A and B are shown apart, each in its own frame.
Chain A
Amino acid sequence: MPTIDFTQGSKTLSRYDVVGERAEGRGHFVIHVGLLNVDSRSVEAGDEVNAAHMAPPLKQGGTIKTHVAGYVPLTEDEIKKIETWIKKTAGEYQEYDVNTKVQYVIDPPWKDEHDPNTGVRRYRRYSCVGFVLDAHHQVDIELLKIDKDALPDVFPQIINSAYPDVERHARLRSYWGLEGNGPWKVVLGGYVLHALNRPTDQIRREPYQAKKGDEQF
């Protein structure tokens, strides 16, 4: 079961292991996930670790306060593939103080934006979970079933916990893919940790089907 909640003390994590942050005062609700972006380091609960993650904007060297973690043991080749993919993706984003929310999307977990006349892709938007899922997708590991039929309903109060901005900004909510009053079929951070809380061969063999309550880990 390659998941860690650090209750037994510190653990050593490796490059591109998944690190998750729990929401303060909301129990085990996982509010944010990303990929550890150093070769190896010992991590304790609450440590701020260097991570590649979709904040927004996409950060290659940002920090995530880590309360939980999970991993599929990656080969050197897989690490190289993810590293190269991140380099290719990073050029589509800017760490600039304008417009970063435009790079984000909740539903679907990733989405391409195109020029309206030519159909040429301009850039890809991600949720924090979408970024982690796509990184694993690059090495043929499908962590989660993300088709609508496979996802549990997510009610507005959960969305508001995960994304405080959307409660205040109706247009932002809509732009991020959440139409109407919910419930919605969206992918949340906790699902990834549950997906990783399985034997390694099973993680590599079949995607996890998230269920109600998996937003907590």
Chain B
Amino acid sequence: MTDKAAEHVSQLPSTRQRRYSGLDETEWGHGYGHYRYYIPAQDQIHIQFPWGHVSGTLTTGRDSQSDYTNAPLVQYEEAKALFVLAKQFFEEKINRDLEFEESFADEELVLSVAVEEQGDVQVMDTASDDVLQWTSDQLASAILGAEAEADMPRLREMILAAENTGFTIAQSEKLSPWLLSFATKYRDKNNPQDKAAIWSAIRTGASMLTPSYADRLLPLLEPGHSIETSLVTVKMIGRIFEAQPPAEVDKYPVLADEVLRIAEALLNRYAITVSQSAAMAQLAVYALVAMASSKTQQIVESVRQLGVSWFIQQTQRELRELRDIWASRPVPVAERPLELLDRAIESLA
């Protein structure tokens, strides 16, 4: 919520149960929302709000500037008519305030999409303007819709919202290729606003992949494009195999070759002085080991040959973390990938 909105809201009444003081409760009628009214005599009316009291003796004159107290009395029916007008006025005001308060409540629910687990169906007849409140169904349909790319700011919002949404397997199967294709298509557009959406699309799209579909990330590894895009992609490859370790060595040779090419290009003392290249090189080594490539030992030897202590130690530390992640799995990791990992850790010690 913006500061301005917060300030406005702080001036609004609470929607909690109101407490009034004064006349006996039975003598008051209750109006819509938050006020009550009392007509003590034919010519008088009191309207009381929790934050103030409006009252007066009504006159026959319709001039609102009149001094009511000295004016001739009006008939009850006229007083009633005036009351209706006053009531309409206040109801309109209250409705406006309530609408604002509800919009604030919407902001309070900004995170509802993230909080709700997958399959928690939020019944909505029509889609709210705020994509963060959409159900996974609404979000998936909108992203996959033919018109999605016509409104890029909206699409960017939807992609970012998707990262915090749990989708069903069926939805993921459609969304993942779409998100990865979006990232491939827009990675060179150089629009800073697209960057966030592109990285998010890669993370979300890749996280939906099982290892057998991990080669769908290959187009995002092609050289000649933004290094950030490749960095996020290589990181996600490592994460796919960290979550679903391979059953055997060299099961993903095409993907491994691409990652190996990146690692080899960056594993030199010049490249790793740039922190971004060093980060990418480490992520590539991690991905290769995690997918149990038979080139693991070769690449680990390249790391060792660099002779850069901080780089070697950090790479080893990350492989130890991979070992911990695999060790914490309820289903044991296959013997050969684990052996490969252990040998890599040992070589870097």
Contact = CB atoms under 8 A, between A and B. Distances in A.
Given A77-B313, A83-B275, A88 B283 contact: yes
A170 interface: yes
B67 to A, nearest CB: 44
Contacts of A113: 164
A116 B166 contact: yes
A92 interface: yes
Given A96-B196, A114-B243, A91 B110 contact: no
B82 interface: no
Given A94-B199, A96-B196, A118 B207 contact: yes
Contacts, number: 131
A115 interface: yes
A84 B160 contact: no
A175 B327 CA distance: 29
Interface stretch (B25-33, B114-122, B253-261, B341-349): B114-122
**Residue with the highest number of chain A CB atoms closer than 10 Å, among B108, B111, B157, B169:** B111
Contact of B235 (A88, A117, A138, A168): A88
A174 interface: yes
Interface string A43-77: 00000000000000000000000000000000011
Interface in A81-139: 81, 83-88, 91-92, 94-96, 98-99, 101-102, 113-123, 138
Interface residues of B, number: 59
B110 A120 contact: no
A105 B196 CA distance: 20
Contacts of A117: 167-169, 172, 208
Contact of A122 (B161, B195, B196, B203): B203
A169 interface: yes
B114 A175 contact: yes
Contact of B111 (A77, A87, A102): A102
Interface in B74-123: 107-112, 114-115, 117-118
B296 interface: no
Nearest to B193: A96
Interface in A117-170: 117-123, 138, 168-170
A106 B80 CA distance: 56
Given A80-B278, A81-B314, A168-B6, 16 more contacts: A86-B275, A87-B279, A92-B203, A99-B160, A101-B110, A116-B118, A118-B243, A120-B209, A120-B244, A121-B239, A123-B163, A169-B107, A169-B108, A170-B108, A171-B109, A174-B115
Interface of B: 1, 6, 107-112, 114-115, 117-118, 132, 156-157, 160-161, 163-164, 166-169, 172, 193, 195-197, 199-200, 203-204, 206-210, 228, 231-232, 235-236, 239-240, 242-244, 275-276, 278-279, 282-283, 309-311, 313-314, 317
21 contacts: A77-B310, A84-B278, A88-B279, A91-B231, A91-B232, A92-B199, A94-B195, A94-B196, A94-B199, A96-B196, A98-B160, A115-B172, A117-B168, A117-B208, A118-B209, A118-B240, A118-B243, A120-B236, A120-B242, A122-B163, A168-B6
